[in-house]
């Protein structure tokens, strides 16, 4: 079939098609030869509902500007078609990637979820509910180290957090139960969809995958249990987020502020255009503290800088920039180890660092009345000691054991309480430490030796 003629563009290939629209890859004829995607909508096939959806999509894409949302660059029409010119995403959609890989590593899932959450946080700030989040509507910018972009706002609608709606919108496999069962819902339906997407990324299928619509509806109506497939390892913090997203009762489901603050996402340190500036500022303050021989503060500031640099390094595509970031990261790590030696050895360094602001002791005191929580904190303290002694295998085991308990308790803590706040901070801290210890276990012995760790703690 011949490719269409679109004024101002050279159409290269067909990317996909639906019931009333076809998407093409194209190049601008004039100016920079930028590649774009053009959605060509046949006017003759438009019903009243599809016209409304299309107008909604155009209206929203005109005003929504975010690095993780597909940008509409232009739209125009002729006697037969409406043309919407958008970003071209060379990596296809997330659904195809899942089919190719069967399941994605948790690290990759976390990166994509950070990007999806960033886009979701932005549209919530605009009081927009997407209503049709699914892997097919999440596009990837490239095949190597892709950036995820939210797309297809045809079912989206303005909705404040306090507002409810009753219209049937979305795709059944990713649709929140309350849409189908009660016909009354709020913006938290998007969070259920995020949970289904995360589940599918981790395990290769949606939690309620079914052979027919009737089977799917029966699972939803009966609140069929959602289980973690056997043989699949997911971190405790990842399981916690997944469980809290996939709550059938929207009043029990995690809310947006809790989701955006969840330690699995760690949105605060997600790589963006300001990450390098933030890392550099913290490193400058660390150098100043180092020069003033305030070793404890210098360690803390170097570590905070690394929290921004590590995700930036993982997301960087330019080999030269990536190499430069690696050099900087290694320099900071070495200096942290040297400073810890100056603080008086492994056990003293662990104690000093954990107690630098007194929050750990306060949390321990607040947990005396909860034996399981109190014991888990002691296990975490032991994990720190093993880490300082470079016994990384035992350190990781202890971190994982204490985090499984702490994260479960965190979900049950009274919101806004002092203990909840301190527990949240401690969980984030030990999650980072566990990630670093795991990285140490994966590091070749010659690289590990080159870091000259001796008896010092390996911090983030």
Res 168: pLDDT: 64
State which residues of the chain have pLDDT below 70.
1, 162-169, 343-357, 443-460
Is 457 contained in some domain? no
The residue among 56, 71, 87 that closes a domain is 87
Res 347: pLDDT: 47
Q: How far is 378 from 354, CA to CA, in rounded Å?
A: 12
Instruction: Output the CA torsion 425→431→436→438 (10° steps).
Output: 170
**Do 50 and 156 fall within a single domain?**
no
- Residue 65 marked as a ligand binder: no
Residue 290 catalytic?
Answer: no
CATH number at residue 302: 1.20.58.80
**Do 226 and 305 fall within a single domain?**
no
Res 447: pLDDT: 55
What total of structural domains would you count in the chain? 4
Is 456 contained in some domain? no
**Do 192 and 134 fall within a single domain?**
yes
Res 166: pLDDT: 58
Across all residues in the chain, what is the average pLDDT? 85
Rg, Å, the chain Cα set: 25
74, 87, 93, 132: which one is catalytic? 132
Q: How far is 98 from 100, CA to CA, in rounded Å?
A: 5
**Do 207 and 125 fall within a single domain?**
yes
Res 167: pLDDT: 66
**Do 161 and 287 fall within a single domain?**
no
Is 380 contained in some domain? yes
Neighbouring CB atoms inside 10 A of 326's CB total 13
Res 344: pLDDT: 57
Q: Which domain holds residue 133?
A: 94-269
Res 459: pLDDT: 42
């Amino acid at each position: 079939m011949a490719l269409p003629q679109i004024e101002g563009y050279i159409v290269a290939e067909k990317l996909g098609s639906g019931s009333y629209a076809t998407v093409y890859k194209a190049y601008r004829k004039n100016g920079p030869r930028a590649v774009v995607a053009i959605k060509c909508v046949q006017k003759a096939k438009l019903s009243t509902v599809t016209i409304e959806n299309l107008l909604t999509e155009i209206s929203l894409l005109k005003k929504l500007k975010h690095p993780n949302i597909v940008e509409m660059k232009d739209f125009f029409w002729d006697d037969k078609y409406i043309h919407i010119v958008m970003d071209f995403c060379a990596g296809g959609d997330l659904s195809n990637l899942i089919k190719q890989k069967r399941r994605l590593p948790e690290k990759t899932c976390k990166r994509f979820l950070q990007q999806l959450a960033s886009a979701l946080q932005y549209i919530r700030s605009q009081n927009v509910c997407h209503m049709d989040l699914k892997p097919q509507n999440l596009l990837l910018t490239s095949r190597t180290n892709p950036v995820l972009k939210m797309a297809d706002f045809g079912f989206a609608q303005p909705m404040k957090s306090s507002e409810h709606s009753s219209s049937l919108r979305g795709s059944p496999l990713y649709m929140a139960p309350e849409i189908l069962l009660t016909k009354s819902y709020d913006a938290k339906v998007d969070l259920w969809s995020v949970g289904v997407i995360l589940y599918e990324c981790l395990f290769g299928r949606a939690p309620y995958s079914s052979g027919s619509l009737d089977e799917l509806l029966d699972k939803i109506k009966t609140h069929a249990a959602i289980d973690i497939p056997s043989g699949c390892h997911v971190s405790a913090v990842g399981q916690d987020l997944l469980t809290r997203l996939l709550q059938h009762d929207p009043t029990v489901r995690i809310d947006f502020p809790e989701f955006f603050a969840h330690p699995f996402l760690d949105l605060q340190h997600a790589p963006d255009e300001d990450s390098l500036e933030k890392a550099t500022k913290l490193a400058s303050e660390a150098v100043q503290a180092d020069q003033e021989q305030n070793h404890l503060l210098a360690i803390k500031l170097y570590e905070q800088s690394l929290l921004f640099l590590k995700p930036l390094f993982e997301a960087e595509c330019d080999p030269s920039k990536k190499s430069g970031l690696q050099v900087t990261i290694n320099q900071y790590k070495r200096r942290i180890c040297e400073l810890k030696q100056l603080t008086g050895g492994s056990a003293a360094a662990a104690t000093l660092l954990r107690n630098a602001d007194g929050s750990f002791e306060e949390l321990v005191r607040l947990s005396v009345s909860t034996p399981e929580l109190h014991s888990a904190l002691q296990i975490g303290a032991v994990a720190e000691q093993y880490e300082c002694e470079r016994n990384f295998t035992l350190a990781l085991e202890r971190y994982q054991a204490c985090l499984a308990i702490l994260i479960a308790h965190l979900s049950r803590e009274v919101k806004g309480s002092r203990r909840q706040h301190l527990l949240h901070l401690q969980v984030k801290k030990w999650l980072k430490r566990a990630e670093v210890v795991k990285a140490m276990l994966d590091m070749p012995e010659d690289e590990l030796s080159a870091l000259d760790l001796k008896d010092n703690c390996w911090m983030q």
